């Protein structure tokens, strides 16, 4: 069955973190050549659209940027996020059956509070896109992310950690062996969204067989029950066997099969650093699968199935892991939330977040109101130490989408109280229920 695919392509040809960085200018050049060589844009299924530029409010719906949006995101970041928005609009307006944003720089390591770049990401393209979808097309749309990048999607997980309207599944190389070192099965989300976060760490060396197993045993059964209105694939191509910064064994055929089975509505490109040997073939295979076309001929020039087989213990290990996670998901309404999050009025957590790309260490102290009517307003104190000695102190008051009146009022009062404080801090009010974003410096 053939389907139309809206394609937004933004290779950011004049931007890189540094000339030798893996996330560099020519990352998507070979993909573009391969798309032309395959004649994809001449096929009736494909419609190309230019990216727009994400506005400041687009970014602020997903993030609190310290000190400001302009300080943490340049034009390429805003166009990359705008590319995801353009793809989403094509899908949501029923102009196409599917949409794909092949854009860079990527986004899935950018958390709700942003002090700089983490894991090559400054702002989270797919979260900015999802917030645009909910703002423009309906607050109650159910959104599901399946992140298939080799790195744990810790940024997207953080943004939706306590959001009952979003399911976030990340499948990635085990955090004990790869940046960012998180994404374990016991990370299951906050008090208002328990088991709305699911993490599947794959052993290094996992190939097509393991990836499909996780899809069949966990992802598809969960999606069948969750029934999202919009299914987003955060598509990282760095599980490929030739990727220079990971240790996985997935092929272009494996990625295309995964995509055909997952059948996402919108795809947003993440990582993938084998820019000549893998990206052109993985991306073309995925696009053909999205369009419902035959992708059987797409093969890497150096493909050799010898050496790509998984070690024997990996599939039984993953079966066991998926069975446990599926049970947690199915039993989520009977989970002992008091045991997990306490029975008081507030749940509190403290963490340290490391920004490898930006060289920043952030300390966070977060309090979430345990509210019976909504997911609860939040107060986050964040102190970021930059490697050049600058220190930023920020306080964020976050009112979630569909917040109850009491949480909106209490959040607003906390904000006003905080702007009277004597210590020099940036105070942010992110009111998603009112679509209102304020920044004051005390
Ligand atoms: Zn990655
Ligand atoms: Zn509430």
Q: What is the pLDDT of residue 358?
A: 86
Burial per residue of 117-150, b for 16 or more beta-carbon CB atoms within 10 angstroms, e otherwise: bbbbbbbbbbbbbbbbbbeeeeeebbbbbbbbbb
User: How far is the centre of ligand 1, averaged over its atoms, from the C-alpha of 175 (Å)?
Assistant: 12
Nearest ligand (C-alpha, residue 164): 2
For residue 186, report the phi and psi dihedrals to the nearest 5 degrees.
-85, 0
Checking if the pLDDT of 389 tops 90, the result is yes
* Separation between Cα atoms, residue 300 and residue 277, nearest integer Å: 7
Q: Across residues 150-168, what is the average pLDDT?
A: 98
* Separation between Cα atoms, residue 209 and residue 12, nearest integer Å: 34
Checking if the pLDDT of 320 tops 90, the result is yes
Tens of pLDDT, residues 48-77: 999 999 999 999 999 999 999 999 999 999
Q: Which of 37-41, 224-228, 330-334 has the lowest mean pLDDT?
A: 37-41
Q: Across residues 308-335, what is the average pLDDT?
A: 97
Q: Across residues 300-326, what is the average pLDDT?
A: 95
Tens of pLDDT, residues 132-150: 999 999 999 999 999 999 9
Tens of pLDDT, residues 336-373: 999 999 999 999 999 999 999 889 999 999 999 999 99
Nearest ligand (C-alpha, residue 172): 1
CA 202 vs. chain centroid, Å, equals 18
Nearest ligand (C-alpha, residue 151): 1
Residue percentage of the chain with pLDDT more than 70: 99
Q: Across residues 221-234, what is the average pLDDT?
A: 98
Nearest ligand (C-alpha, residue 408): 2
Nearest ligand (C-alpha, residue 371): 2
User: How far is the centre of ligand 2, averaged over its atoms, from the C-alpha of 404 (Å)?
Assistant: 4
Checking if the pLDDT of 306 tops 90, the result is no
User: How far is the centre of ligand 2, averaged over its atoms, from the C-alpha of 403 (Å)?
Assistant: 5
User: How far is the centre of ligand 1, averaged over its atoms, from the C-alpha of 151 (Å)?
Assistant: 4
User: How far is the centre of ligand 1, averaged over its atoms, from the C-alpha of 311 (Å)?
Assistant: 22
Crossing angle of helices 29-37 and 279-290, rounded to 10°: 50
* Separation between Cα atoms, residue 270 and residue 283, nearest integer Å: 11
List residues bridging with 267 in a β-sheet: 100, 233
User: How far is the centre of ligand 2, averaged over its atoms, from the C-alpha of 367 (Å)?
Assistant: 14
Checking if the pLDDT of 423 tops 90, the result is no
Tell me the pLDDT band of 24, cut-offs 50, 70 and 90: confident
Closest residue by Cα to residue 129 from 64, 83, 65, 193: 83
Tell me the pLDDT band of 120, cut-offs 50, 70 and 90: very high
User: How far is the centre of ligand 2, averaged over its atoms, from the C-alpha of 435 (Å)?
Assistant: 16
The SS3 of residue 278 is: coil
Tell me the pLDDT band of 25, cut-offs 50, 70 and 90: confident
User: How far is the centre of ligand 1, averaged over its atoms, from the C-alpha of 106 (Å)?
Assistant: 9
Q: What is the pLDDT of residue 422?
A: 64
Tens of pLDDT, residues 244-298: 999 999 999 999 999 999 999 999 999 999 999 999 999 999 999 999 999 999 9
- Both tokens of 275, joined, read 């820019």
The whole-chain average pLDDT of the chain stands at 95
Q: Across residues 383-412, what is the average pLDDT?
A: 96
Question: Cβ contacts of residue 167 below 8 Å, gap of 6+?
Answer: 142, 143, 144, 145, 196, 198, 222, 223, 226, 228
User: How far is the centre of ligand 2, averaged over its atoms, from the C-alpha of 197 (Å)?
Assistant: 21
On the CB side of 224, how many CA atoms lie within 13 Å of its CA?
A: 10
Q: What is the pLDDT of residue 419?
A: 86
Nearest ligand (C-alpha, residue 240): 1
* Separation between Cα atoms, residue 53 and residue 50, nearest integer Å: 10
Crossing angle of helices 279-290 and 252-262, rounded to 10°: 30
Residue percentage of the chain with pLDDT more than 90: 91
Boundaries of every domain in the chain:
5-333, 344-441
Checking if the pLDDT of 424 tops 70, the result is no
Point out the residues that are catalytic: 109
CATH says 5-333 is which class?
Answer: alpha beta
Tell me the pLDDT band of 305, cut-offs 50, 70 and 90: confident
Tell me the pLDDT band of 113, cut-offs 50, 70 and 90: very high
* Separation between Cα atoms, residue 139 and residue 166, nearest integer Å: 11
Q: Across residues 155-181, what is the average pLDDT?
A: 98
User: How far is the centre of ligand 2, averaged over its atoms, from the C-alpha of 146 (Å)?
Assistant: 28
* Separation between Cα atoms, residue 197 and residue 123, nearest integer Å: 20
Using CA atoms, how far residue 367 sits from 297, 346, 348, 380, in Å, is 53, 6, 4, 6
Longest dimension (CA), the chain: 66
- Do residues 149 and 238 lie in contact, with contact meaning Cβ atoms separated by under 8 Å? yes
């Amino acid at each position: 069955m053939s389907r139309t695919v809206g394609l937004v392509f933004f290779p950011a040809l004049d931007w890189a973190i540094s000339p030798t960085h893996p996330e560099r200018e020519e990352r998507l050049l070979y993909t573009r050549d391969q798309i032309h060589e395959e004649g994809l844009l001449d096929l009736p299924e494909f419609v190309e659209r230019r990216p727009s530029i994400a506005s400041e409010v687009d970014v602020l719906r997903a993030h609190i940027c310290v000190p400001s949006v302009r300080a943490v995101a340049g034009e390429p970041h805003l166009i990359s996020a705008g590319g995801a928005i353009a793809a989403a609009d094509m899908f949501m307006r029923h102009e196409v059956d599917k949409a794909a944003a092949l854009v860079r720089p990527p986004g899935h390591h950018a958390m709700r509070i942003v002090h700089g770049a983490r894991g090559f990401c400054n702002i989270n393209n797919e979260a900015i896109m999802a917030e645009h979808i909910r703002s423009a097309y309906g607050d109650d749309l159910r959104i599901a992310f399946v992140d298939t990048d080799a790195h744990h999607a810790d940024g997207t997980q953080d943004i939706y950690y306590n959001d009952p309207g979003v399911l976030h599944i990340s499948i990635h190389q085990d955090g004990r062996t790869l940046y960012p070192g998180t994404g374990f099965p016991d990370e299951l989300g906050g008090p208002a969204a328990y088991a709305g976060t699911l993490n599947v760490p794959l052993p290094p060396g996992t190939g097509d067989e393991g990836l499909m197993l996780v899809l069949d045993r966990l992802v598809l059964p969960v999606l069948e029950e969750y029934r999202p209105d919009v299914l987003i694939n955060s598509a990282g191509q760095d599980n490929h066997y030739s990727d220079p910064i990971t240790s996985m064994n997935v092929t272009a055929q494996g990625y295309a099969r995964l995509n055909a089975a997952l059948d996402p509505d919108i795809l947003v490109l993440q990582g993938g650093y084998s820019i000549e040997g893998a990206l052109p073939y993985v991306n073309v295979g995925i696009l053909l699968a999205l369009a419902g076309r035959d992708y059987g001929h797409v093969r890497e020039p150096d493909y050799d199935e010898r050496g790509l087989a998984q070690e024997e213990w990996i599939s039984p290990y993953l079966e066991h892991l998926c069975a446990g996670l599926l049970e947690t998901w199915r039993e989520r309404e009977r989970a002992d939330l008091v045991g997990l999050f306490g029975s008081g009025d507030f749940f509190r957590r403290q963490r340290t977040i490391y920004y490898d790309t930006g060289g920043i260490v952030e300390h966070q102290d977060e309090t979430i109101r345990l509210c019976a009517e909504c997911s609860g307003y939040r107060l986050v104190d964040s102190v970021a130490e930059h490697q050049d000695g600058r220190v930023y102190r920020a306080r964020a008051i976050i009112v979630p989408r569909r917040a109850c009146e009491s949480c909106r009022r209490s959040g607003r009062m906390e904000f006003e109280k905080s702007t009277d404080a004597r210590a020099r801090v940036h105070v942010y009010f992110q009111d998603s229920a009112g679509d209102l974003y304020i920044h004051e410096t005390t």
